[in-house]
Amino acid sequence: MLLDWLIGDPAWLPHPIVGMGKTIGFLNKKLNRGNHRKAKGFLLLFLMLALTAFAVFALQWICLKIHIVLYIIFNLYLIVTSLAAKTLAVEVKKVMTALKGGDIEVSRTQVGYLVGRDTSALKEKEIIRATVETTAENTIDGVLAPIFYLLIGALIPIPWLNPAMLVMLYKATNTLDSMVGYVQEPYKDFGYASAKFDDIINFIPARIGSLFMLVAGMFLGYPFNDACRIFKRDRLKHKSPNSAHPESVVAGLLGIQLGGTNQYFGETLEKPTIGEAKTPLEILDIRETITIMYGSEVVVMVVSTIIAILMLSI
């Protein structure tokens, strides 16, 4: 976590997620056509998980054969690349900077890199809402869920199911969902397996992670009771079983309203609203959502460290 905060994802360092994205893009072109697209989507999921597992295992084995130090460095590299707090903060701040400068076109372009919806005609408030929503969701997907699987990997007494292996399998699934997991064509059937599997593996992290976000909000001085009420009421107001959990936490902590109508691949998608518009959406809400993200990561760091100390003392 500390390394992620300090260096993030340097441009000069090869990133495994980039490789996953290129592989998914290649397989998408080859498989997402003709008949039986849902079955082909299951094949895509199986191939990506198998290729990821094989690549990680093979490279870990080679590094271990050369030297244990190289093995440790390689695993640390995979782990650091799986955490996206610094990168997410940097990319989100680009939207915020453009909005502060009054450049609506640049802000639309920047937020378009972060979300799957059509951003070409978004107004300022809609850009803020989209940015806050994706930051809240990625607090789980890009930060807390990877940590969850790193910790699970540390506890499983099976050598090849180590933290780096589990977190890379998680990132492969998450990347699949972000690229093909849409209910609109041409991904409606082809992306079904990836989207559903991503829902399954994020089910527990979304719920535990949202609780950590609430605790972080309490320590940061946000209205904890209001956030708990909104979380309890609105956490299931989404077609995804997981997305509304972190969104409802952020909406409750900031006193804002999220959700509503969005455009995806030329189709209008109506979503329920989340939270209460006690205050209008402001550019500052983007920065506050980043603060909540980092705060929740600190809470996880403290809790996991305490648990590790207790386990080592037994």
Give percent above pLDDT 70 in the chain.
Answer: 97
Q: What is the pLDDT of residue 78?
A: 96
Distance CA 122, CA 42 (A): 34
When pLDDT is averaged across residues 152-178 and rounded to a whole number, the result is: 94
For residue 263, pLDDT beyond 80: no
Give percent above pLDDT 90 in the chain.
Answer: 80
* Residue 166 DSSP SS3: helix
Residue given tokens 């708990």 in the structure block: 228
Bond prior to 186 in cis (omega within 30° of 0): yes
When pLDDT is averaged across residues 168-175 and rounded to a whole number, the result is: 97
Q: What is the pLDDT of residue 266?
A: 59
Least confident of 178-192, 239-253, 257-271: 257-271
Q: What is the pLDDT of residue 260?
A: 76
Q: What is the pLDDT of residue 271?
A: 80
Q: What is the pLDDT of residue 135?
A: 96
When pLDDT is averaged across residues 56-61 and rounded to a whole number, the result is: 97
Binning the chain into helix, strand and coil, the percentages to the nearest 5 are 70, 5, 25
For every residue of 222-250, DSSP letters joined together read S-HHHHHHHHHHHTT-SSSTTTHHHHHHH
For the CA atoms of 222, 225, 229, 232, what is the dihedral angle to 10 degrees? 90
For residue 290, pLDDT beyond 60: yes
Least confident of 60-74, 86-100, 161-175, 269-283: 269-283
Q: What is the pLDDT of residue 102?
A: 93
pLDDT digits (tens, 9 = 90+) for 176-220: 999 998 888 889 999 999 999 999 999 999 999 999 999 999 999
Q: What is the pLDDT of residue 107?
A: 95
For residue 235, pLDDT beyond 80: yes
Distance CA 81, CA 176 (A): 17
When pLDDT is averaged across residues 121-148 and rounded to a whole number, the result is: 94
**What rounded mean pLDDT belongs to the chain?**
93
When pLDDT is averaged across residues 11-25 and rounded to a whole number, the result is: 92
Residue given tokens 């109506």 in the structure block: 270
Range of the domain at 162: 2-313
Higher pLDDT, 116 or 302: 302
Question: Which two three-digit tokens encode residue 191?
Answer: 């992306």
Q: How many CB atoms lie within 10 A of CB 287?
A: 14
What are φ and ψ of residue 289, in 5° steps?
-65, -40
For residue 12, pLDDT beyond 70: yes
Q: What is the pLDDT of residue 183?
A: 80
Q: What is the pLDDT of residue 267?
A: 64
Q: What is the pLDDT of residue 259?
A: 85
**CA-angle at 186, arms to 182 and 188, nearest 5°:** 45
Q: How confident is the model at residue 264 (pLDDT cuts 50, 70, 90)?
A: low
Least confident of 94-108, 226-240, 268-282, 293-307: 268-282
* Residue 107 DSSP SS3: helix
Q: Indicate the pTM of the whole model.
A: 0.92
Looking at the structure of the chain, the number of domains it has is 1
Higher pLDDT, 183 or 227: 227
- The answer to whether 92 and 135 have CB atoms below 8 angstroms apart is yes
Q: How confident is the model at residue 44 (pLDDT cuts 50, 70, 90)?
A: very high
- The DSSP symbol for 141 reads I
For residue 265, pLDDT beyond 60: no
